[in-house]
Structures are given as structure tokens and as C-alpha cells.
Amino acid sequence: MVNPMRLIVGLSGASGIIYGIRMLEVMHDLKIETDLVMTGMAEKMVEIETSRSVEQVRDFATRCHDNSDFTSVLASGGYRTMGMVVLPCSMKTLAGIACGFADNLLLRAADCTLKERRPLILVPRETPLNLIQLKNMVTLAESGVTILPAAPGFYHRPETIDDLVDHIVGKTLDVFGVDHHLYHRWRQDF
């Protein structure tokens, strides 16, 4: 496990903001530090899609960073982390990362994560996908980014929305090698 146990969590303005909130909550419970950066539209999605306030979401994070503050530690590759996850990842943020257009802190943090060869996981949420979006995903995958679509499985027989959300959060934690029991692994009852 990478030391320090610290993950950058980016929340952008796609539908499914609940994925990002749950990630912060789980990391909090696992005592893994989180550096949170939210876009303006992510804050709007908290309001649109949940009954929580942005303040309540921020409370799960260890540190919060202003998305317009390029003097933040997140703007430097010298800030050591386990990597970064953007969930949900909008097509706009995905495009910005794909072409290195770092005009906000979230994009700059992703840029730094890539240049330092740390794991970067994007959880895109859009449907259907156009050719530009698909090509951006290929560019990112070729650069070592993990594209982990917000497309939960059903083989573990989810009963609630929380079960679906936990499947995606669990799959994300799997990439970082973090132990969890967020979903039931197929045929692993031993």
C-alpha cells in the first residue's frame, strides 16, 4: 500500500453525484485520507440529486480544496498520494483531462497524477456516447487511465440503490487495492 494513505477525490457535474459522496464516506470509515475538489456543477448536482448539503458532503473529506485555487497542494505533483479518482466524471471534465487543458484545480490535479504516473480512475456517466467522447476515453486509456463506467452489475442481486452505488465504489477501491466488503464477489464464498 502506498504511503501516505491519501487519495484525491474529484467530483464533477455529471449525474450520479451519489457515487462520489459514497466514496468519501467509505474512505472516511476506512480511515484513508481524502483531498476533495468539487466543480461548481458537482455542487449543483448535490443540490439537484440528493437531500444533503454541500457542507455535509465536504464534512466527509479530510481536506477540501477550492476548484479555482491553483496555489493548492493538489496543483503540484510533489504532493504524494495513492492517486486520484473522479466520480462521477462528466464528459467535459473527461475531455479536459484527455487534452491536458487544466483550467481548474480538478483538471490540474488529474494532470499531475498522470505526469507522476500515479493511478487515475475516471468514472464517466453519460449515455449514449458520441464518437468524440469515445475517442477521448481511448486517449485516456492509452495514457494509463482506468475508465470505470458508472455501470453497476446485477449478478450480486442488488436490492437497493445503495447496493448499486456500492458496487461501483467497490470496483473503484479494487483498482487501488483497498480491502472492502462493499459488494459480494462472484462465487467467492470461501
Ligand X SMILES: Cc1cc2nc3c(=O)[nH]c(=O)nc-3n(C[C@H](O)[C@H](O)[C@H](O)COP(=O)(O)O)c2cc1C
Residues that bind ligand X (CB under 6 A): 12-15, 39, 41-42, 48, 90-93, 125-126
Residue number with CB closer to ligand X (110 or 178): 110
Provide, rounded to whole angstroms, the least separation between the CB of residue 46 and ligand X: 12
State how far the Cα of 161 lies from the Cα of 62, in Å rounded to an integer: 26
Residue number with CB closer to ligand X (122 or 178): 122
E strands within the chain?
6-11, 33-38, 63-65, 83-89, 120-124, 146-147
Provide, rounded to whole angstroms, the least separation between the CB of residue 90 and ligand X: 4
Residue number with CB closer to ligand X (1 or 99): 99
Q: In this chain, which residue has its C-beta nearest to ligand X?
A: 13
Residue number with CB closer to ligand X (125 or 171): 125
State how far the Cα of 123 lies from the Cα of 117, in Å rounded to an integer: 18
Residue type, 145: V
Provide, rounded to whole angstroms, the least separation between the CB of residue 17 and ligand X: 9
Provide, rounded to whole angstroms, the least separation between the CB of residue 189 and ligand X: 35
Q: Are 62 and 90 in contact (CB under 8 A)?
A: no
State how far the Cα of 107 lies from the Cα of 122, in Å rounded to an integer: 12
